Chain A
Amino acid sequence: MSSIVQVRDLVKTYDNKNVVDGISFDVKKGEIFGILGPNGAGKTTTLEMIESLRPIDGGKVVVDGINVADDPHKIKYLIGVQPQSPAFQDKTKLTEVIDLFAAAYGERVNPKEFLDDVQLGEKANAYVESLSGGQKQRLSIAAALVHSPKVFFMDEPTTGLDPQARRNLWDLVKQVRDKGVTVIMTTHYMDEAEILCDRIAVMDNGKIVALDTPKALIKALLGRGFTKAQHVEQANLEDVFIDLTGKALRD
């Protein structure tokens, strides 16, 4: 599969410190690519440089054949961005949010269609301030896809959501990928990365310390002789929670 994003020796410097320190990786067309790492590892900064929101201090990024540093404005038509905590101006109807974002790309769309895709069709005429956290995330995803981007960025999309809303969002992300959109996401949740991501880059101190499929990463660890101290149960507390409360969305 050909790569849609190529990152080569990417550097970002703040106060003489390289917060992103010469990283290189490729994202393949149509995959869900996860960037993991502790806070301050440089995940968000990396995303923002690829998104053309932050100047690139060293190296280069190419998205769908376009060098980000050369034509940041063109890049914006190719990408959709889901911010960490989506917010919208209040007194705006959901349909108007979709219309606004489509208009930002100079396009007209049928907002109902996009809202139905994220199960917000019934709320089409509600104001954004009446939405729950999970619903805002879904509206934000719909708004980020109005111009059919080739690459979709998500920054910690499920932080603060309840287990039902998280699972629902995972399904949505898979649907997006199945439509042929490449997804690049950051997360702090390992279960999320394991379930969603086709490949994972683990970042620490501005460098990529590992890059592979989740399975291969686990296999490699086990191959180094790693064993868990405890016996692993066949279910965990989240399985109990979902079993007790069901998978249906609450919002």
Chain B
Amino acid sequence: MNLGKAFYTVRVFAFTNTRRFFRDRTAIFFSVLFPLIFLFVFGGIFGNSSNNAKFHIALINDSQSAFAKSFAKELKDSKTLNVDDAIKTFSQAKESMGRGQLDATITLPKDFGTVKPGTAYPSGEVQIQYTQNNSTAGTTLGSIMQGILKNINAGITKAPEPFKVSTTQIKEKSLTSFDYTFSGLLGFSLMGLGIFGPINVFPELKKQGILRRYSTTPLRVWQYFTSMAISQTIVGLVSIVIMFVVAVAVFHLNLIGNIAELGLVIIMGIVTILGIGLAIGGWASNERQAAPISNIVVFPMMFLSGTFFPRFLMPDWLQNISSFLPLTPIIDSIRLIATEGKHLIDLGPQLGLIVLWAIVIYFIAFRVFRWE
């Protein structure tokens, strides 16, 4: 067969398929909007938590002194403290701490900030109360208060300070949990597109005899697969670009990697994962055959490849096993390039694993494909 003609066939099938996709509202919902909804849900949960960790505290000010008032205001304005204004009494605070809603309670006693007889300046004691489960927060808050009071003391006594501690935030950002969540969501979106798409569509095409009709033409399986891969890649890139735009604009995703390298890895991911869908959908004669196999394949990847929670939270043995699943190197490479700024050259093992899986998956897909 003439190679130019063969690829003309692939091109027409690919572009017709792509146009069909963008005319189909249900398909757009499931492959573009559905992952976006997940992005908003998970982004909302993990978006801000680790970046600016704040202590949730109640502030009970029993003192009337001007000093206590300005001190209370300083605490409320503090970046590290989140003061719950609704809580006015210690019993309320205690209940709230018991439920785990508060990390600690800060009490300014009645005589706080008053000028005691025989002294020339205000004095007092800041009291921090915390529950057993919150001892870390309690101790940290203790140090924070020490620091604040030390500054105030120095201002009053004007005594020189021989030793000091200084803290500076370095420019370098560390990975936030959103960075992990996001690459996992991309993995989820790849599975939706590459696996759930074909396993839903193929049995229907077989039932209606559409694939059988193609088999009466000279159309080859590789031409059909290639055209599917091209159209799914186009659709996948559109969906993933939208996700990146939302992640950067709304959730401040730290996108520092090279876009071309990122694109290449994403395309490799789409094509590899699509192979799984082509293998299952191409093999199954009907939905009843496709569903159990796809669940066996999809669920382990969904939970073990870092789709919904990062793999570093897993025990070592599980991390070792899950690192060999096809989706894992894809999610890892996307994250390493996008948020850690790594290059293709640093990702030898991951890319090697993706290519290996792609070869295995497509070998199987070609062997088991049936037109009817």
Chain A positions within 8 Å of B, measured between CB atoms, are 51, 53, 73, 76-77, 79, 81, 83-92, 96, 99-101, 103-108, 127
Contact = CB atoms under 8 A, between A and B. Distances in A.
B370 to A, nearest CB: 12
B9 A103 contact: yes
A9 to B, nearest CB: 24
Nearest to A77: B218
A53 B6 CA distance: 21
Given A53-B215, A81-B216, A107-B5, 16 more contacts: A51-B216, A79-B216, A83-B209, A83-B212, A83-B216, A84-B209, A87-B209, A87-B213, A91-B20, A99-B12, A101-B217, A103-B8, A103-B12, A104-B217, A106-B1, A106-B2
Interface residues of B, number: 26
B13 interface: yes
B9 A89 contact: no
A181 B292 CA distance: 47
A106 B16 contact: no
Interface string B1-45: 110011011011100100110011000000000000000000000
7 contacts: A79-B216, A83-B216, A85-B209, A91-B20, A105-B217, A105-B218, A106-B218
Given A76-B218, A85-B209, A91 B23 contact: yes
A52 B12 CA distance: 25
Leading 6 A-B pairs by shortest Cβ distance = A106-B5, A103-B12, A87-B208, A104-B217, A81-B216, A91-B23
B210 interface: yes
Contact of B16 (A81, A84, A92, A105): A92
A204 to B, nearest CB: 26
A240 to B, nearest CB: 35
B121 interface: no
Contact of B6 (A77, A96, A106, A108): A106
Where chain B touches its partner, the secondary structure class is: helix
Tell me which of B1, B5, B218 has the highest count of chain A C-beta atoms within 10 A of its own C-beta: B218
A126 to B, nearest CB: 12
Contact of A106 (B9, B24, B205, B212): B9
A107 B4 CA distance: 11
Given A104-B217, A106-B5, A89 B20 contact: yes
B219 interface: yes
Contact of B210 (A51, A77, A88, A127): A88
Contact of A81 (B11, B19, B213): B213
A28 B24 CA distance: 46
A79 B210 CA distance: 17
Contact of B13 (A86, A100, A105, A107): A100
Contacts of A88: 210
B324 interface: no
Contacts of A76: 216-218
A146 B363 CA distance: 33
Contacts of B13: 100, 103-104
B212 A100 contact: no
Interface string B203-237: 00100111011111111000000000000000000
B197 to A, nearest CB: 13
Contact of B20 (A87, A92, A103, A108): A92
Contacts of B12: 99-100, 103
Contacts of A73: 218
Contacts of A127: 23
Contacts of A106: 1-2, 5-6, 8-9, 218
Contacts of A85: 208-209
